[in-house]
Structure formats: C-alpha cells, structure tokens
Amino acid sequence: MLQTARTDAFDALKEALQSDRYWRWFDGMWDWVGSGPWTTRQNRRAAQRRAVPVAVFHARRLARWHGKLCQRSRGLQGMGKNKRHRVRLASKRLRYAIEFSEGGLPADVYASWRNVLKHLRKGQQLLGELNDDEVRRALVESADALAQRAQERKAKHQRVHERKRKSKLL
C-alpha cells in the first residue's frame, strides 16, 4: 500500500514538473530573480553586493553561520534542552548549506568545508542522542509519578476498606 502511494506520488510529481504550467512558473521566477527591484537599486551598498560573485558571498555566509554556531555551542554541557535544540537546528542548517554548496563553491574551498561537515554530522548525532536521553528521562519520571499515584490510590482504598471492615465487626 505504501509502495503504491509512493509510486503514485512520484508519478504525479514527474507529471507536474513536465507540465507547461510549471515551466511558465519557473520562467517567471527566473526572470523575477534576474530583474527584481534589487537589481536596479543605485545606492553604493546594493552595487557592492551585486558586484560580489555568488561563490564569495556563499563562502562568507557559511563562515558567518559557522562562527555563530561555534559561539552558541559554548557551554553545551550546562545547556537546557531548548537551547541545545536550537544549537542542533543551527548545526543542521549549516550542514545542509554546506552540502548544497558542493557545486557552487570552488573545489579547494569546498574541500575545507568537508572536514567541518564531518564534525557537524557527529555533533548532530550526539545532540540527537542527548535529546533522546532527555526524552527517556522525562518518560521514566512520568511513569514513576503515575506509579506513585496508583500506589497512593491503592493504599487509600485499602485504608477505607479496612475501616469499613472494622466498623462491621464492632
């Protein structure tokens, strides 16, 4: 059943990507990206940004995200689960951006990011395991609390039952 649904979805996607409607949208998007209002701004900053090659811009952006991730990762052991989760998401974003960059960066520049990519994968794995441990701990605490309440109800029921039994005997 799942295999059939997957095959049907794949066929529908293939059909959509080959449709005239998709290609009209794609051409319109391409034209918009190439001639949007940002391409005609005359201020100095906009002109400087347009003059920077995409590979250089992309490498700078990766370096900036990497620096921010390194900053956010400091003190990881003492972090709460929410902050640790945000670090994990930032790590994932950087990892995907680096993987996406393979064709857009010069080979020598991308080679230097491959090592970072290796560490990001390991870091994400560890952060995922920490999150799993946190979830497990919370589940155990929840189960313990439920067991404690059940035990208290049982003890209360036994006390009531014992009182009723004694009152009938007297």
Are 27 and 86 found together in one domain? Answer: no
pLDDT tens sequence across 70-96: 999 998 888 888 898 899 999 999 999
Are 33 and 63 found together in one domain? Answer: no
Distance CA 108, CA 60 (A): 15
CA torsion sign, 104 to 109 to 111 to 112? Answer: negative
pLDDT tens sequence across 10-26: 999 999 999 999 999 99
Two tokens at 42?
């005359």
Are 139 and 159 found together in one domain? Answer: yes
Are 83 and 121 found together in one domain? Answer: yes
Is this prediction's pTM over 0.75?
no
pLDDT tens sequence across 121-160: 999 898 888 888 888 988 898 888 888 888 989 888 998 8
Question: Does 38 score more than 80 pLDDT?
Answer: no
Q: What is the pLDDT of residue 2?
A: 66
Are 11 and 95 found together in one domain? Answer: no
Query: 142-151 long-range CB contacts below 8 Å, 24 or more apart?
Result: none
Q: Domains in the chain: how many in total? A: 2
Are 127 and 61 found together in one domain? Answer: yes
Are 91 and 148 found together in one domain? Answer: yes
Cα→Cα distances 94→85, 118, 146, Å = 14, 12, 41
